[in-house]
Amino acid sequence: MTAGRQRAADQRMTADKRMTADEAVARLSSGMTVGIGGWGARRKPMALVRALLRSDITDLTVVSYGGPDVGLLAAAGRIRRLITAFVTLDSVALEPHYRAARERDGRPELTELDEAMLMWGLTAAAHRLPFLPVRAGLGSDVLGLNPGLRTVVSPYRDGEELVAVPALTLDAALVHLNRADRRGNAQYLGPDPYFDDLFCEAAREAYVSCERCVDTEEFASAGGPQSLLVQRHCVTGVIEAPGGAHFTSCVPDYGRDEEFLAAYVRGARSGESPALLLSGDEADYRAAVAAARRGAE
């Protein structure tokens, strides 16, 4: 690497990457492939999803272990193709707004993969490989549902046939972590990292929202170095968004908002548009959530 390129790389690594959710979304465009981290109704980057819903971006290919992120984007008609292993609220097996969209007009187009196949597709992209061979999916209906999938034969003595999972290369990734510093290092403090690191590494650009932006030195006092999940070299923007995973959980900062989730499900099942989640800024959203809680008391 030349001295000039090294300086440019060093500047990218040490730059202050803080921005707002709307500034992050302004860097995206229609037709992109966007990966969304978290898992079901756990640590979803909902503040970033809400900013995406406030934009006019559409025709997306979304890769996600899906939850309300997929449900809301499907309800708003923003997804052209979904690549997923499931779309769930955990306590509600099938996300109701996603279900309504699929039952209404069969959209978005669905590519359903085994959970492990999705993980290895992201891993292949992270390592800049065209595919990775896996056993997951063999003997199941996944291959029949996805005729574009191919198998490969091991070139070694075993001669085993394996599924060749194509790389899930992302234009952008959106994830939410408990803590991050201004350079893009990010830390999880809950029980499960999910696959947020793979989403970031598989993407050309990655945007990390966090409960709190901290000085780098603070990572050591909470969780230690093993909890540093996302590294600065693969992060484009950092967004401080307290409550940014609501109404999904972000343990240990907060659990899932069961009362709000129940209201969300009731509205979806009655055919209501999730208006408070599809419009307004974060202040409007928080005010509407507070009002909904007062009304339920």
User: SS3 breakdown of the chain: % helix, strand, coil, rounded to 5?
Assistant: 35, 25, 40
Would you state the structure tokens that stand for residue 23, as one six-digit string?
Answer: 């500034």
- Residue 296's pLDDT is what? 57
Instruction: Residue 67: name the closest of 47, 43, 41, 29 by CA.
Output: 41
Instruction: Residue 164: name the closest of 154, 152, 176, 155 by CA.
Output: 152
Q: Is residue 207 within 8 Å of 172, Cβ to Cβ? A: yes
- Residue 275's pLDDT is what? 56
Query: Which sequence spans correspond to the domains of the chain?
Result: 12-130+167-296, 139-165
Torsion angles phi and psi, residue 169, rounded to 5: -75, 130
CA atoms of 183 and 181, how far apart (whole Å): 5
- Residue 223's pLDDT is what? 78
- Residue 176's pLDDT is what? 98
- Residue 10's pLDDT is what? 55
CATH architecture of 12-130+167-296: 3-Layer(aba) Sandwich (3.40)
286-291 contacts, C-beta under 8 A, 24 or more apart: 286/243, 289/246, 289/247, 289/257, 289/260
Torsion angles phi and psi, residue 289, rounded to 5: -65, -45
Angle at which helices 258-269 and 282-296 cross, to 10°: 90
Q: Is residue 71 within 8 Å of 97, Cβ to Cβ? A: yes
- Residue 220's pLDDT is what? 86
Neighbours of 57 (CB within 10 A): 19
Residue 224 makes CB contacts below 8 A (sequence gap 6+) with none
CA atoms of 250 and 45, how far apart (whole Å): 10
What is residue 167's DSSP assignment?
A: P
Whole-angstrom distance between the N-terminal and C-terminal Cα of the chain? 63
The two most distant CA atoms of the chain are separated, in Å, by 67
Residue 264 makes CB contacts below 8 A (sequence gap 6+) with 68, 96, 247, 274, 277
Q: State which amino acid sits at residue 69.
A: D
Q: Print pLDDT tens along the chain (297 aa).
A: 565 545 445 555 679 999 999 999 999 999 999 999 999 999 999 999 999 999 999 999 999 999 999 999 999 999 999 999 999 999 999 999 999 999 998 999 999 999 999 999 999 999 999 999 999 999 899 999 999 999 999 999 999 999 999 999 999 999 999 999 999 999 999 999 999 999 999 999 999 999 999 999 989 888 777 899 999 999 999 999 999 999 999 999 999 999 889 988 988 888 876 655 555 678 888 887 777 666 655
- Residue 272's pLDDT is what? 75
- Residue 225's pLDDT is what? 74
Strand boundaries in 195-290, DSSP class E? 203-213, 228-230, 237-240
